[in-house]
Structure 1
Amino acid sequence: MTNENTADRPLPGGIRSSGTLSPEPPSSQGKGVVEVATARPAIAARPVREPVRLATLDALRLVAALAVAAFHLTVAWRIDGVREPEHFLPHLTHVTVYGFLGVELFFLISGFVIGMSSWNRSLGDFFTSRVSRLYPAYWACVLITAAVVTLAPISGGLPVTGRPGLRELAANLTMLQEPLGIPAVDTVYWTLFVELRFYLLFAALAAFGLTYRRVVIFCAVWMTVAAIGPALGSRVVDVLAIPQYAPYFIAGIAAFLIHRFGRSALLFGIYGFAWLVCVERVSDRVSGIDPGFHVPVWPGMLIVTLAFAAVLVIALGWTDHIRWRWLTVAGALTYPFYLLHQRIGYTLVRHAHQATRLPAWVLVLGAIVLLLGLSWLVHRLVERPLAARIRTSLRRSLTELRSASAADANGTALPRQAREGRLVRSARGREER
């Protein structure tokens, strides 16, 4: 996909609730109404950018994934009982310890991307795109990770060990292992449940139809709940409203609206308010890290600020001219790389250290390169072909569901045998053609 935008066509008038630009209709309600309307200053309509793939967002995705991998592979393991910040990588780890904030950048980008990919689409389209996007690579990565940690187990000095059984594996394949109370095959999967709750909230909005006005109200209400949620002490609010990470998703949605509809004091206000909340709360995230040395809070606040600045630059269209194809490829590798990097990375580093005694930085870099290669194979051999089949199957199923529902509502539903026969004949006809 290219990153070209449609031609700008400024029109007099304002933005309708549907989010499209149109001239104000002439008044036909009498003289008084005309006088009120003409007394207002004219507001020039801004061009609407059509949703397109942004290569710079793909680049940010890869930066976030590499940051998280650097944190896990340099800070979160020990070798021979020695924690590496004290022995193996005494200087690098004081920088990579902040790599866990790549997760926050993921959530910020997710808000932007979900808004962009869902605009002018139905709830069924939203469901189809999310299922076909998330599950194919996830299934492959769960099975690969389970196979690696079973065939080459390691123990001690790591935040996650053990071999997943069939029960754990089955639950993990649903992506709902956390609410089911089942241990995850890899602890990095916790972010997926956060994303799923965001999708659930956005799907509820998409069911009514996405418009500029509705999305702005959605952001304002969600931000209010997220800001006061921790003070309520409600488990329901914590689960559904995701107060800890909601400001990142909300800021991402606001950034998308800025990109599509142009600059607005209201949107900048939402974005800035979300940034202030995130900067304040990041101190708790940094304080929760225990790498064995003191971790100052201010670099975490700076990193979050830079992440917000980078996404805002993209939202303003300043990077639209960047269309390097390799960035899109890099973005495609991000999801499988994130899913694969931790436990398989630990396994590679630990066994390579025992066999070669190479420097720790060589082991970490080598593991990242190998995992990027494995991620490319997952993307090309599993994710792309399987995602296409899932999309086709789900679209066909939703079409049949709508047709059956319409026929049932009209009292013209066919008996099951006749309906199945019609579907078989239709399939044969397509094959013959």
Structure 2
Amino acid sequence: MTGQLTALPPAAGADAPAAAPQRARRAPSRLRALDGLRLLAALMVAAYHYGGRDGEIGTAWGSSPAAQFPTASGFFAYGCLGVQIFFVISGFVICLSGWGRTLRAFIASRISRLYPAYWVAVLLVTVVFALPGVVYKAVQPSEVLTNLTMLQMPLGAHRVLGVCWTLWAEMRFYALFALCVVLPGATRRRVVVFCAGWTLAAALAQAANEPLLDTVLMPEYAPFFIGGIGLYLLHRYGARDPIAWSIVLVSWLTGQHFAVAGLWHPASAGGFSYRSQFGIVAVVTAGFVLVGAIALGHFRWANWRWLTVAGALTYPFYLVHEHLGWVVVHALHRGAGLPSQATLALTVTAMLLLAWLLHRLVERPLTPLLKRAIDPKR
């Protein structure tokens, strides 16, 4: 979900596919289309949170979002799969950014990228929820402090940010990749072994039903991270790599299984939303196909500067949009009496503006400072 998206040629001396010698391909300085896809995935998640599920957002609207968006809510319900698309992108980006880095540099990059905006988002949501007239319950001070570590889920503390469960999954992926690939040094062979080993170990963990193995190996999310890594191998070494294609294919097959198992349910009159198995598989497939098309250079024409800005807004938008969005929806729809469609559009716009402020005022100054504090050689 986070990371630099600079396109790199194959490293000198790296393991090459046996099929044919590979040559570095000319590429733009950033994979800007991937930046745009990241924001699209974040907007999918926002659509799900604002109109594709019931719960707290129903309090903000004053009724079920399905009543506010009778037709669109059925499509918004698939927006939760934006998370799986994020994980595919993350696998691609982390392999790209971690290749050739020292362990310390990799850790500095991840911490400095994740934490500054996250700390401010946690504090901002806590303060807003504590304001008079805001109907949502803030967590206890001790739990707010625990949330600042980003370890609230394994420690059993209440979450300030609902989306932080995905950050916990990202952190476990970073740890596995750092220990197995970055620490010994990234090579094609080592990355392939990592993908194959994690795929098998995740399947065994699913069969064993052992909580510790589930926590470490993340069977339901591993295929998406691994699929993204496989797509990066195709980007780095070219499309004539049957092993990389095999990694992607197996990841897609197992990923769609876990997505359907986790998100599909039979249609019922009492259910808020219904997602078909075909729809779930189609969205997962679209995520793999789009990242793959970008990896293989089919979107090089999408090299507009505004896509870089879109990518920069994605992470802070993702952090703040849900809970603060509830407050904005309540104020605009129930307070000011705006129609549902106008409320939705203005809420998304407000959250994007807030994300821009977080990027300019928090991430830009603090990220390089934190990175240099952890890795002074950079």
So what's the TM-score if we normalise by structure 2? 0.90
Q: Is 1:70–2:51 an aligned residue pair?
A: no
In structure 1, the residue matched to 2:35 is 58
Secondary structure of the 1:368 match is helix
Secondary structure of the 1:345 match is helix
In structure 2, the residue matched to 1:19 is 15
Give runs of aligned pairs for residues 169-208 of structure 1, distance below 5 A.
Answer: 169-205=144-180, 206-208=182-184
Per-residue deviation, residues 98-152 of structure 1 (Å, max 9, x unmatched): 0000000000000000000111111011001001100011111111111111115
Q: Provide the rounded CA distance (Å) in 2 between the counterparts of 1:383 and 1:3.
A: 18
Secondary structure of the 2:186 match is coil
Q: Provide the rounded CA distance (Å) in 2 between the counterparts of 1:379 and 1:204.
A: 30
Shift of 1:388: 1.0
| Distance verdict in 2 for CA 1:175–1:291, change over 3 Å | farther
The one-letter code of the counterpart of 2:190 is R
Q: Provide the rounded CA distance (Å) in 2 between the counterparts of 1:326 and 1:90.
A: 33
In structure 2, the residue matched to 1:29 is none
In structure 2, the residue matched to 1:371 is 351
Query: Where does structure 1 lack aligned partners over 5 or more consecutive residues?
Result: 10-14, 22-41, 156-160, 400-433
Give runs of aligned pairs for residues 34-433 of structure 1, distance below 5 A.
Answer: 44-48=20-24, 52-76=29-53, 77-79=57-59, 82-85=63-66, 87-151=67-131, 154-155=134-135, 161-205=136-180, 206-263=182-239, 264-287=241-264, 292-396=272-376
Secondary structure of the 1:151 match is coil
Shift of 1:288: 6.0
The one-letter code of the counterpart of 1:57 is L
Q: Provide the rounded CA distance (Å) in 2 between the counterparts of 1:291 and 1:391.
A: 47
Secondary structure of the 2:321 match is helix
Shift of 1:366: 0.7
The one-letter code of the counterpart of 2:211 is R
| Distance verdict in 2 for CA 1:128–1:304, change over 3 Å | same
The one-letter code of the counterpart of 2:247 is I
Query: Where does structure 2 lack aligned partners over 5 or more consecutive residues?
Result: none
Shift of 1:293: 3.8
Shift of 1:292: 1.6
- C-alpha contact 2:50 2:65 (8 A) present in aligned 1: no
The one-letter code of the counterpart of 2:235 is H
Q: Provide the rounded CA distance (Å) in 1 between the counterparts of 2:247 and 2:19.
A: 22
Shift of 1:2: 9.7
- C-alpha contact 1:226 1:246 (8 A) present in aligned 2: yes
Q: Provide the rounded CA distance (Å) in 2 between the counterparts of 1:243 and 1:152.
A: 43
| Distance verdict in 2 for CA 1:330–1:94, change over 3 Å | same
The one-letter code of the counterpart of 1:194 is A
> Number of paired residues?
365
Per-residue deviation, residues 329-349 of structure 1 (Å, max 9, x unmatched): 000000000000001001111
Q: Provide the rounded CA distance (Å) in 1 between the counterparts of 2:293 and 2:129.
A: 41
Q: Provide the rounded CA distance (Å) in 2 between the counterparts of 1:386 and 1:131.
A: 11
RMSD across aligned positions (CA): 2.4
**Bigger Rg, which one:** 1
Per-residue deviation, residues 234-267 of structure 1 (Å, max 9, x unmatched): 1121011011000000000111111011120111
- C-alpha contact 1:333 1:379 (8 A) present in aligned 2: yes
| Distance verdict in 2 for CA 1:20–1:305, change over 3 Å | closer
The one-letter code of the counterpart of 2:34 is L
- C-alpha contact 2:48 2:77 (8 A) present in aligned 1: yes
Quick one: percent identity of the two aligned structures?
A: 39
Shift of 1:294: 3.1
The one-letter code of the counterpart of 1:236 is L
Shift of 1:272: 0.5
Per-residue deviation, residues 187-227 of structure 1 (Å, max 9, x unmatched): 11110000000001011021111111000000000011122
- C-alpha contact 1:5 1:50 (8 A) present in aligned 2: no
Per-residue deviation, residues 47-76 of structure 1 (Å, max 9, x unmatched): 145995310110110000000001101133
Shift of 1:351: 2.2
| Distance verdict in 2 for CA 1:350–1:288, change over 3 Å | farther
The one-letter code of the counterpart of 1:82 is S
| Distance verdict in 2 for CA 1:217–1:365, change over 3 Å | same
Q: Provide the rounded CA distance (Å) in 1 between the counterparts of 2:39 and 2:110.
A: 20
The one-letter code of the counterpart of 2:318 is Y
Shift of 1:153: 5.4
- C-alpha contact 2:68 2:340 (8 A) present in aligned 1: yes
Q: Provide the rounded CA distance (Å) in 1 between the counterparts of 2:255 and 2:16.
A: 31
